Amino acid sequence: MTAAGGFTYERYADGSVRVSHHGRPAGTLRGDRAARFLAEVATGDAQTVMARWTGNYRRGNERTARAHPRNQPRGRR
């Protein structure tokens, strides 16, 4: 098991990989996808790789989107 900023992954004997975020399952990879994931984790930043593969990453526009009029309660427009 390897930990990196809240993400962990476990390799299983059947070749599958389970990725968790803060102890909760974030995804399971099998077959070719698991092999590609493990190769990428070995060569890159594990935190970024796991976040990208699980779709659990921020894009930097959340604060801007929160202030958009469409995302305000009806009385605050």
Quick: pLDDT tens for 27-66. Answer: 999 999 999 999 999 998 898 889 888 876 665 555 666 7
The whole-number pLDDT of residue 71 equals: 76
68 compared with 59, residue with greater pLDDT: 68
Between the alpha carbon of residue 43 and those of residues 1, 5, 48, 73, 74, the distances in Å are: 17, 17, 11, 45, 48
